[in-house]
Amino acid sequence: MYIHKTSCISAQNTFSDIDLETINQSENNVLKVREPKYEGIPAGILRRMGKAVRIGVGSALPLISSERKPDGIVIGTANGGMEDCIKFLNQIVQYEEGTLTPTNFVQSTPNAIAGQIGLISANHGYNITHVHRGLAFENALLDVKMLLLENPNAEYLLGGLDEISDYNYNIEYLAGWYKKEAASNIDLYSSQTIGSIAGEGSAMFIVNNNPSDAQANIVDLTSLHSNNIEDVKTWFIAFLEKNNVTVEDIAVLISGENGDVRLHDYYALIENILKSNSSIVHYKHFSGEYPTTTAFALWLAIQTSNIDSLPTHFIKQKANTTNKNLCLLYNTYKGSQHSLILVNDIRK
């Protein structure tokens, strides 16, 4: 499965003029997206869109042309348009179940993003949304992988996105998943407290089976539901063995480390297995924490074909990776959902 085009809207300068050097700082422990002008979306439609739909459609449209429409649209999201959902529920109470505004209801469902992309681009192909919390994007990726096995000549739009609404921020904050004390994304990895910094974003990809002019190849992916660190170790080693990969073959580990001290042992486990063989990159100081950050991690993996071209603030460990093409993405969401994505940079 080959990635040909990418697009990303995030809290940083990742859309249009990409700047990986500059770090936009968090405010009140939140990294909110920097929304572009959305020139491809009609104004009448744009003003009715919630944030999740805006960033999803806005990041997808640059990858879609009238001459080359994808055969399907596959999106992963944990929360979808949660903000619009809460607005609609509040209206039910406010208007005593009387005449309600339909816009918030239409925009509130997780599949509204994929649906709007399909409507605006007049795409009548396969259209589906995967909602699996911290594995939503991974399941979307797995779906596309299976679709390409069935339809070898097809091409798909793949995406992962989430917004940080007041509702889900408050729920996650009360549950202890966001930091109670004032914190900065600049110092995220030196934190010794529980919780992380909230984030949001959308990353989109055009994928098919054609290696010609591709940027990267998704070799394999896997996921695990477990809180047991020994299970994670066994699962990780089995994944490498399945793909005939040794720790010496991995050029870069893109780690989902997020400053939450409760999750440190999981990331330390993977790093210790790889030892000094691989460079280690972390990214959540750039994106913040949200369920589908692995879509951002995959986008980041494709932006650089050489560790030397990556700004130093991403790099935790630098190793000699000459003649190595493999990049491994590892992330855990709340310590119970784990994923691995193996990427081969075919541009080298």
Q: Is the confidence at residue 75, as pLDDT, over 80?
A: yes
State the pLDDT at residue 269: 98
Q: CA 135 to CA 157: how far, in whole Å? A: 18
Summarize the confidence of residues 62-68 as an average pLDDT.
Answer: 83
State the pLDDT at residue 95: 66
Q: Is the confidence at residue 97, as pLDDT, over 80?
A: no
The pLDDT-based confidence of 307 (bands split at 50, 70, 90) is: confident
Tell me the CA distances in angstroms from 108 to 118, 129, 163, 293, one per residue in order.
17, 13, 12, 21
Q: Where do runs of H (alpha helix) occur along the chain?
A: 43-46, 51-60, 82-94, 102-108, 112-120, 136-150, 166-174, 229-242, 264-274, 284-287, 293-303
Structure tokens of 282? Answer: 């972390």
Domain ranges in the chain are: 2-208, 216-344
The segment with the largest mean pLDDT, out of 86-100, 284-298, 301-315, is 284-298
The pLDDT-based confidence of 167 (bands split at 50, 70, 90) is: confident
Residues of the chain with pLDDT > 90, as a percent, come to 77
Q: Is the confidence at residue 83, as pLDDT, over 90?
A: no
State the pLDDT at residue 261: 97
Q: CA 163 to CA 55: how far, in whole Å? A: 9
Q: Is the confidence at residue 110, as pLDDT, over 80?
A: no
Question: Among the listed ranges 27-31, 67-71, 201-205, 260-264, which one has the minimum average pLDDT value?
Answer: 67-71
User: What's the chain's Rg over C-alpha atoms?
Assistant: 20
Which DSSP letter does residue 98 get? S
CATH class in words for 2-208: alpha beta
State the pLDDT at residue 68: 77
Q: CA 210 to CA 230: how far, in whole Å? A: 38
Cross-strand pairs, 103? none
Domains 2-208 and 216-344 are alike in CATH topology: yes
Q: Is the confidence at residue 107, as pLDDT, over 70?
A: no
Within 8 A by CB and 6+ apart from 99, the residues are none
Question: Among the listed ranges 66-70, 169-173, 195-199, which one has the minimum average pLDDT value?
Answer: 66-70
Q: What is the mean pLDDT of the chain?
A: 92
End-to-end CA distance of the chain, in Å?
A: 17
Q: CA 219 to CA 242: how far, in whole Å? A: 11
> What dotted CATH number matches 216-344?
3.40.47.10
Strand 155-162 and strand 201-208: the pairing is: antiparallel
State the pLDDT at residue 327: 95
pLDDT in tens, 232-255: 999 999 999 999 999 999 999 999
Q: CA 228 to CA 14: how far, in whole Å? A: 35
State the pLDDT at residue 165: 84
Strand 155-162 and strand 72-76: the pairing is: parallel
Residues of the chain with pLDDT > 70, as a percent, come to 92
| Sheet architecture: strand order including 337-344 | 126-130, 72-76, 155-162, 201-208, 2-9, 216-225, 337-344, 326-333, 250-255, 279-282, 315-317
